Amino acid sequence: HIYKANPSVFYPLFFINIMAITNGFFKEIGEDSFMRLSLWLDGESGSGKTELAKAGTYAFGDKEFCRKVLASVTGKRKDILTMLLQSSGCVSIIDDVKQEDVRDRRNSVKNNVDDCLRSVFQGCLTDSVSGYPNDKKIDCCAIITGEYMETKESQNARMIYIKADGFLKKEQNAKALRKLQENPTLFASVCGGYIEFLLLGMEGKNFLQSVKTVLKEKRDAPKVYQGISNAERLNENRCMLEMAECLTESYFHFLGMQETFLNEFCQYARKSIHEVIDATFYLLGGGQMVFLKAIERVLLKAKVRKAYYQTNFGRYTAIMYQQRYFWIEENYDDFIWIEDYGKSMIKNEDEKHYDYEEKPVLLIQKVQLERLFQKEVDILLKEKAEISSKIAESVKNQFWKLLREMQIIYQIPRKDSKLGRMTAEYPVFSRLFAYSNTGLVSEVTFAITYESVVQINTEHECVRELADRMNRTKAKKIHEKAERWTIIDKRELSENDEEVRLNEHDVFDKRQKFIKGKSLYRK
């Protein structure tokens, strides 16, 4: 009943305890690295991480063995390693990881975190500790709390991750935590009972064989998380949590708990495992992997027009190429591919060709890019087992942030922020036709608006296949022959019902401003 307040946090905490108790048993049956995980409890200052870690773990015999339950990450390395050595069958807490200003202190924190993660995962110390033999084994799990995280991918693969921001702000969470603090024997008695159940099971051959059978089934099941460098480890971590759930369910069966209770427990357990592994998957780059898959699909499926360079022959214009070929057509183009933007801006044959660095240039309307991306994420959600609705939502919410950070789009730098403006105004048009008595097009009106347009980095890896396709594609004329061409301001037309005529030079100036000052995001 207490855990119902927030199964997403309480259940993984509970399973870390079950794993700490059980990993010694798995070592005895030849699974030396199984059930050896750390849980990173992330959250802002004051969110209740430390109290949650203390109330959500058990420790027997503290007074008798003078064992520390909790150690500060800024403490001595020897103290942290000693605590791990003394914590067999229990959970150690490494507390208060935050961003340190002093370099030596910062390096010390990094080393302590790394020692904890690797020692727990390997089941032995990463370094010697005076007073203990070098081959001393570690049979415990750990919880690391902190508001700042600076870990490598290989370290992240050795843990599961929970974001606990604002945990205490919700009344039901605060009440649940208070109940655990006021009744510490509730949790300890469950763990004590589980130990008794495990010891009884180890005495019989059937229990051992059934555990091996279930473990094999879990490992042989289809792999859910793929596409990242540590996918195998992540799937094994999920397997550990599922085995912890399975063993706990067997324990509750052993106690004679009712079927309704068991069904509810399994429901909450599986949901929480899915969520915590999702969060870890995202931490390992799974979010970026899903993001890139969706972006690549957008680029492969979208309508991309390669701009044609049509020379102007009129006496009344100094612009060399007809500009309408370089505008985005609202009802036809998703993207426009301009092979040489500088060439498209030449005003006459004698003018020097201004060499823009970005070659070629790929443009799309901001709203259209977002719409196409969300559509592809939804398709991936239906197709791919490794993408949960939570990951899909997270990727959608961080769409523009990821575009910047992965250097897929250009931005216009701002002095007041490291994040520049993602878009600039660019001409977007729709065509209106007038026909002669013979049925031929006599006049074409270009209704122009200036919309927020994004420039894609054509040197990014995700654009490679599209770039190859564009290199093989020949640009085509797309505009009909007509006696007259007219350009009007579409917004003025819709607001005043009167035509406000424009000329190519007006739109040319807007295109010239669009490309200036662009750069890729830099950390």
Top-ranked range on mean pLDDT: pick from 80-84, 255-259, 319-323, 419-423? 255-259
Task: Tell me the per-residue pLDDT of 216-228, one tens digit each, with 9 for 90 and over.
Answer: 999 998 877 766 6
Sheet order of strands, 159-163 included: 70-72, 91-97, 141-146, 38-42, 159-163
Domain assignment present for 356 = no
DSSP labels for 172-227?
HHHHHHHHHHH-HHHHHHHHHHHHHHHHHHHTSHHHHHHHHHHHHHHHHSPP---S
DSSP 489: E
- Tell me how many helices (H) and strands (E) the chain has: 19, 16
Q: Is the pLDDT of residue 60 over 90?
A: no
**Predicted confidence band of residue 247 (pLDDT cuts 50, 70, 90):** very high
Sheet order of strands, 417-421 included: 417-421, 410-414, 519-520
E strand spans, 275-423: 304-306, 328-329, 335-338, 361-365, 410-414, 417-421
Q: How many domains does the chain have?
A: 2
What pLDDT, on the 0 to 100 scale, is given for residue 133?
Answer: 66
Q: Is the pLDDT of residue 63 over 60?
A: no
Q: How far apart are CA 29 and CA 23, in angstroms?
A: 10
| pLDDT mean over 80-104 | 85
Task: Tell me the per-residue pLDDT of 269-308, one tens digit each, with 9 for 90 and over.
Answer: 999 999 999 888 888 878 888 899 899 999 999 999 999 9
Residue after which a domain boundary falls, among 262, 285, 308 = 285
Instruction: Tell me the β-bridge partners of 487.
Output: 446, 502
**Predicted confidence band of residue 243 (pLDDT cuts 50, 70, 90):** very high
Task: Tell me the per-residue pLDDT of 373-382, one tens digit each, with 9 for 90 and over.
Answer: 999 999 988 8
Q: Is the pLDDT of residue 80 over 60?
A: yes
Domain assignment present for 374 = no
Q: Which helix (H) or strand (E) holds 428?
A: strand 424-435
**Predicted confidence band of residue 457 (pLDDT cuts 50, 70, 90):** very high
Task: Tell me the per-residue pLDDT of 156-186, one tens digit each, with 9 for 90 and over.
Answer: 888 999 988 888 889 999 999 999 999 888 8
Q: Is the pLDDT of residue 14 over 70?
A: yes
What pLDDT, on the 0 to 100 scale, is given for residue 501?
Answer: 80
Domain assignment present for 212 = yes
DSSP labels for 150-163?
---HHHHTTEEEEE
Q: Is the pLDDT of residue 67 over 60?
A: no
What is the span of the domain harbouring residue 164?
2-285
Q: Which helix (H) or strand (E) holds 13?
A: helix 7-28
Q: Which helix (H) or strand (E) holds 443?
A: strand 441-456
Predicted TM-score (pTM) above 0.85: no
* For the chain, percent of residues with pLDDT exceeding 90: 42
| pLDDT mean over 363-376 | 96
Task: Tell me the per-residue pLDDT of 411-450, one tens digit each, with 9 for 90 and over.
Answer: 988 777 767 889 999 999 988 766 666 666 667 788 889 9
Domain assignment present for 66 = yes
What pLDDT, on the 0 to 100 scale, is given for residue 385?
Answer: 54
**Predicted confidence band of residue 384 (pLDDT cuts 50, 70, 90):** low
What pLDDT, on the 0 to 100 scale, is given for residue 75?
Answer: 85
**Predicted confidence band of residue 495 (pLDDT cuts 50, 70, 90):** low
Pick the residue with more confidence: 508 or 499?
Answer: 508
| pLDDT mean over 103-107 | 85
Domain assignment present for 170 = yes
Of 329, 328, 310, 330, nearest in space to 320 by CA: 310
Domain assignment present for 260 = yes
- Helix 184-202 to helix 7-28 angle (10° resolution) is 30
What pLDDT, on the 0 to 100 scale, is given for residue 316?
Answer: 60
- Find the Cα–Cα–Cα–Cα dihedral 358, 363, 366, 367, rounded to 10°: -170
What pLDDT, on the 0 to 100 scale, is given for residue 205?
Answer: 79
Task: Tell me the per-residue pLDDT of 510-523, one tens digit each, with 9 for 90 and over.
Answer: 998 998 888 888 76
**Predicted confidence band of residue 353 (pLDDT cuts 50, 70, 90):** low
The lowest-confidence range among 120-129, 230-239, 390-399 is 120-129
∠216-222-227 over CA atoms, to 5°? 125
Q: Are 65 and 97 in contact (CB under 8 A)?
A: no
What pLDDT, on the 0 to 100 scale, is given for residue 434?
Answer: 66
What pLDDT, on the 0 to 100 scale, is given for residue 6?
Answer: 94
**Predicted confidence band of residue 59 (pLDDT cuts 50, 70, 90):** low
What pLDDT, on the 0 to 100 scale, is given for residue 221?
Answer: 86
Q: Is the pLDDT of residue 139 over 60?
A: yes
Residue after which a domain boundary falls, among 255, 285, 315 = 285
Residue after which a domain boundary falls, among 285, 311, 337 = 285
Record the tokens describing residue 449, joined without a space.
């608006």
Domain assignment present for 388 = no
Domain assignment present for 177 = yes
The lowest-confidence range among 1-5, 37-41, 261-265, 517-521 is 517-521
Q: Is the pLDDT of residue 194 over 70?
A: yes
Q: How far apart are CA 479 and CA 472, in angstroms?
A: 22
